[in-house]
A and B are shown apart, each in its own frame.
Chain A
């Protein structure tokens, strides 16, 4: 049995269906992420788990028990809020002690567990400080310590890294993973940042317009998206519209307007004559000077339109002769040389026949 079960949850605000028939199972010990653009319903789901909102239809179960009607203060679920919501009139220790005091723990136990929590987030020397004296990263850690100190069954995190600058966010991501592994508490994390979701999560539910589009481990979401939304939302992807010419158990033959035939991996829903798109990641494309010996099955000629030098990698935008523009990514691992093609160069873009994934229309 899953720790948290969402069964056909629907939530409406007036005419707007913020959450539509969502079912999820979240396992104990998991780092589970709800990922989606703003307004997709992920925060509404989080608020229903915390108890600040109730579903119009469907039910939530925690440890097999229905949560309906139980107010937030009586759910063994704590939240790390977007802007931390630390109590400004309490010290760091006072903030962390708060949930323990609410639970009626003894003075000695509170003292001991506050100190443990401070050590857990490396803030041993900040116990007497007030929140306004802390940096953004330190506030973040206090909020985490406060959420974890009374050992909730679930810790909900509502875009907790959103207010931090890029460098600090990267460091806090590392700390979050380590922390979750150490305490073993189940995390439900909400974010719109797909890279953050990929880096942190055991499993991700990708949401769009109130629905869950796909739930899976990061690697599968990235390499085998189920539809255009997931493919497009996670990472960068090239979408080539195509019709299925021939569908076999070992692969597909696709026809793309102006390009000719493309070989693609097999797909159970692809039948000859149906339409769809081939989705292929930039790192699966190879760019070579035109006129060389193409070594891969799919190869097309085009012109370099633009490139972005990003340090570790360079992204080339290549306009194929039929008008389709593809993004290809080249790692700059070879010492000395970082730029292989100039704007305007004629190049050949090629990829393996088993790269990419077919998305039925």
Chain B
């Protein structure tokens, strides 16, 4: 808690805390928690004749959508492919971002802010336009509408989300530790693998989460750059709501994705926790 709060009387401090946290809490309840509950409820109902949901009085609750997803292997296949694409994207982002983040972190202090600005500069132009631009680049290379194109687009879009947490971590490293390692006999590579890398793991994990989770649900990039076989779980969910008008199926797939994301976030939090002290 900020020090300025603690100087207030306890009752006043409690009131301040409520006033500060209430608006975002209300926002999240109305626009996140309630819709999520509606989604969960929708997954147990039947689709309406012309989209939406069938009246509860006529059809009641059913496990039809779950049965449908469970019986068709194609859904599990698409989820697995989504994980694969997200995993490949995360790994490529890490490989590209790490040297860059290290370079920025070890640049003179005055240049660092400029370099960070350059990293986030792509956000200044529209996301869709940037992905469309890749069509122009990948088309002549005969790479368009392939899984490769999807991964290229995903890496391009998400690279800053890997660079920034890595940079934030690497910038805090005490250069004296590298000198100590060198003084005690470690060469360049050993210094990296024994000091820089282990100390950067919290940054690696948070970057990985920031890339992996959005990629898992992303539908715009596969739709624009992918071929017919490159449908990912995000596209599937979008299709159920907008094209097939099967809300219960869309809601079920969406819950499945949420469960997968929570599992990933949980594992990553567990991996990071033990290293909190070292960060």
A interface residue numbers (CB < 8 A to B) = 50-52, 71-74, 77-79, 81-83, 85-89, 98-99, 102-103, 130, 132, 146-147, 150
B275 CB-CB contact with A under 8 Å: yes
B interface residue numbers (CB < 8 A to A) = 174, 176-177, 179-187, 190, 194-195, 198-199, 275, 277-278
Expressed in whole angstroms, the Cα–Cα distance for A86 and B186 within the complex equals 14
In the complex, what's the smallest C-beta–C-beta distance from B146 to chain A, in angstroms? 41
Nearest chain B residue, comparing its CB with the CB of A82: B176
Q: Which residues of A contact B190 (CB under 8 A)?
A: 102
In the complex, what's the smallest C-beta–C-beta distance from A206 to chain B, in angstroms? 26
Question: Is the CB–CB distance between B277 and A132 below 8 Å?
Answer: yes
Question: Is the CB–CB distance between B183 and A89 below 8 Å?
Answer: no
**With A87-B195, A88-B278, A130-B277 in contact, is A73–B186 under 8 Å at CB?**
yes
Nearest chain A residue, comparing its CB with the CB of B173: A88
**With A73-B186, A102-B190 in contact, is A89–B278 under 8 Å at CB?**
yes
**With A85-B176, A85-B180 in contact, is A102–B199 under 8 Å at CB?**
no
Expressed in whole angstroms, the Cα–Cα distance for A72 and B275 within the complex equals 29
A71, A81, A86, A130 — most chain B CB neighbours (10 Å): A81
Question: Is the CB–CB distance between A81 and B179 below 8 Å?
Answer: yes
Nearest chain B residue, comparing its CB with the CB of A94: B194
Expressed in whole angstroms, the Cα–Cα distance for A103 and B183 within the complex equals 12
Expressed in whole angstroms, the Cα–Cα distance for A73 and B179 within the complex equals 9
Question: Is the CB–CB distance between B277 and A79 below 8 Å?
Answer: no
**With A73-B187, A85-B174, A89-B275 in contact, is A52–B179 under 8 Å at CB?**
yes
Question: Is the CB–CB distance between B180 and A87 below 8 Å?
Answer: yes
Question: Is the CB–CB distance between B198 and A89 below 8 Å?
Answer: yes
In the complex, what's the smallest C-beta–C-beta distance from A92 to chain B, in angstroms? 14
Nearest chain A residue, comparing its CB with the CB of B275: A89
Partner of B184, one of A52, A98, A132: A98
Expressed in whole angstroms, the Cα–Cα distance for A132 and B195 within the complex equals 16
**With A81-B179, A89-B275 in contact, is A103–B185 under 8 Å at CB?**
yes
Q: Which residues of B contact A150 (CB under 8 A)?
A: 184-185
17 additional A-B pairs beyond A89-B199, A99-B185, A147-B184, beta carbons within 8 Å, are A50-B183, A51-B183, A52-B182, A52-B183, A71-B182, A73-B185, A74-B185, A77-B183, A83-B176, A85-B179, A87-B181, A88-B199, A89-B275, A102-B184, A130-B278, A146-B184, A150-B185
Q: Could you list 30 A-B pairs, sorted by A, with CB under 8 Å? A: A72-B182, A73-B186, A74-B185, A77-B183, A78-B184, A79-B180, A79-B183, A81-B179, A81-B180, A82-B176, A83-B176, A85-B174, A85-B176, A86-B180, A87-B177, A87-B180, A87-B181, A87-B195, A88-B177, A88-B199, A88-B277, A89-B198, A89-B275, A89-B278, A99-B184, A99-B185, A102-B190, A132-B277, A146-B184, A150-B185
Q: Which residues of A contact B194 (CB under 8 A)?
A: 98
Nearest chain B residue, comparing its CB with the CB of A77: B183
Expressed in whole angstroms, the Cα–Cα distance for A309 and B198 within the complex equals 54
Nearest chain A residue, comparing its CB with the CB of B178: A85
Expressed in whole angstroms, the Cα–Cα distance for A79 and B176 within the complex equals 11
Nearest chain A residue, comparing its CB with the CB of B180: A85
In the complex, what's the smallest C-beta–C-beta distance from B11 to chain A, in angstroms? 36
A-B contact count (CB 8 A): 64
Q: Which residues of B contact A51 (CB under 8 A)?
A: 183
Expressed in whole angstroms, the Cα–Cα distance for A81 and B177 within the complex equals 9
B176, B180, B195, B277 — most chain A CB neighbours (10 Å): B180
Q: Which residues of A contact B181 (CB under 8 A)?
A: 87, 98
Question: Is the CB–CB distance between A72 and B199 below 8 Å?
Answer: no
Nearest chain A residue, comparing its CB with the CB of B177: A85
In the complex, what's the smallest C-beta–C-beta distance from B206 to chain A, in angstroms? 17
Expressed in whole angstroms, the Cα–Cα distance for A130 and B181 within the complex equals 17
In the complex, what's the smallest C-beta–C-beta distance from B187 to chain A, in angstroms? 6
In the complex, what's the smallest C-beta–C-beta distance from B185 to chain A, in angstroms? 3
A71, A74, A98, A146 — most chain B CB neighbours (10 Å): A98
In the complex, what's the smallest C-beta–C-beta distance from B174 to chain A, in angstroms? 7
Expressed in whole angstroms, the Cα–Cα distance for A21 and B195 within the complex equals 37
**With A81-B179, A87-B180, A89-B198 in contact, is A102–B277 under 8 Å at CB?**
no
Q: Which residues of B contact A130 (CB under 8 A)?
A: 277-278
Nearest chain B residue, comparing its CB with the CB of A74: B185
Q: Which residues of B contact A98 (CB under 8 A)?
A: 181, 184, 186, 194
Question: Is the CB–CB distance between A73 and B199 below 8 Å?
Answer: no
Expressed in whole angstroms, the Cα–Cα distance for A77 and B182 within the complex equals 11
Partner of A102, one of B179, B186, B278: B186
Nearest chain B residue, comparing its CB with the CB of A98: B184
Q: Which residues of A contact B182 (CB under 8 A)?
A: 52, 71-73
In the complex, what's the smallest C-beta–C-beta distance from B179 to chain A, in angstroms? 6
Q: Which residues of B contact A103 (CB under 8 A)?
A: 185
Q: Which residues of B contact A147 (CB under 8 A)?
A: 184
Q: Which residues of B contact A52 (CB under 8 A)?
A: 179, 182-183
Partner of B185, one of A81, A85, A86, A102: A102
Nearest chain B residue, comparing its CB with the CB of A156: B183
In the complex, what's the smallest C-beta–C-beta distance from B48 to chain A, in angstroms? 57
Nearest chain A residue, comparing its CB with the CB of B185: A102
Nearest chain A residue, comparing its CB with the CB of B277: A132
Q: Which residues of A contact B275 (CB under 8 A)?
A: 89
Expressed in whole angstroms, the Cα–Cα distance for A87 and B193 within the complex equals 13
Q: Which residues of B contact A74 (CB under 8 A)?
A: 185
Nearest chain A residue, comparing its CB with the CB of B278: A89
Partner of B183, one of A73, A82, A88: A73
Expressed in whole angstroms, the Cα–Cα distance for A81 and B184 within the complex equals 12
Q: Which residues of A contact B180 (CB under 8 A)?
A: 79, 81, 85-87
Q: Which residues of A contact B198 (CB under 8 A)?
A: 89
Partner of A72, one of B174, B176, B183: B183
In the complex, what's the smallest C-beta–C-beta distance from B213 to chain A, in angstroms? 26
In the complex, what's the smallest C-beta–C-beta distance from B95 to chain A, in angstroms? 22
